[in-house]
């Protein structure tokens, strides 16, 4: 049962990742693309979590935490850029 859950989680994460890349490609606006990048970062963290659970290699939790913090800082930086009057396609 555990193996089936791991496979199901990987399949669902893969489908979500493909849809995230599709949104990143289509856009149409810069905020849409940034949200897609945030989604891709979150899904990557999910992949790492599933790997840690299935293999028991706990040092990868640190990698997931660093990726989460980096994605958060990127989101804050983008929000600050838009707040300062950065380029937006949806005006």
- The pLDDT of residue 90 is 57
- Contact between 68 and 41 under an 8 Å Cβ cutoff? The reply is yes
Question: What is the domain-level CATH number for residue 43?
Answer: 1.10.287
Give me the tens of pLDDT residue by residue for the chain, a chain 91 residues long: 989 999 999 999 999 999 999 999 998 888 888 889 999 999 999 999 999 999 988 889 999 999 999 999 998 988 888 788 766 555 5
20 in any annotated domain? yes
SS3 string, 13-82, reads HHHHHHHHHHHHHHCCCHHHHHHHHHHHHHHHHHHHHHHHHHHCCCCHHHHHHHHHHHHHHHHHHHHHHH
Q: What is the number of structural domains in the chain?
A: 1
Residue 6 burial by CB count (10 A; 0-12/13-18/19+): exposed, middle or buried?
A: middle
Per the domain annotation, does 61 fall within a domain?
yes
Tell me, yes or no, whether 90 lies in a domain. Answer: no
**66 in a structural domain:** yes
Q: What is the pLDDT of residue 42?
A: 94
91 in a domain, yes or no?
no
pLDDT at 21 (0 to 100): 95
| 34 inside domain | yes
Q: Other C-beta atoms within 10 Å of 22: how many?
A: 10
Which residues form the domain of 21? Answer: 2-85
The confidence score (pLDDT) of residue 28 equals: 85
């Amino acid at each position: 049962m555990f193996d089936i859950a791991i496979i199901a989680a990987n399949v669902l994460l893969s489908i979500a990742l493909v849809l995230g890349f599709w949104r990143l490609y289509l856009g149409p606006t810069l905020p849409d693309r940034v949200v897609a990048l945030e989604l891709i970062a979150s899904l990557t963290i999910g992949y790492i979590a599933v790997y840690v659970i299935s293999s028991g290699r706990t040092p990868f939790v640190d990698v997931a935490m660093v990726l989460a913090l980096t994605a958060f800082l990127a989101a804050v930086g983008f929000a600050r850029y838009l707040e300062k009057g950065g380029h937006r396609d949806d005006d």
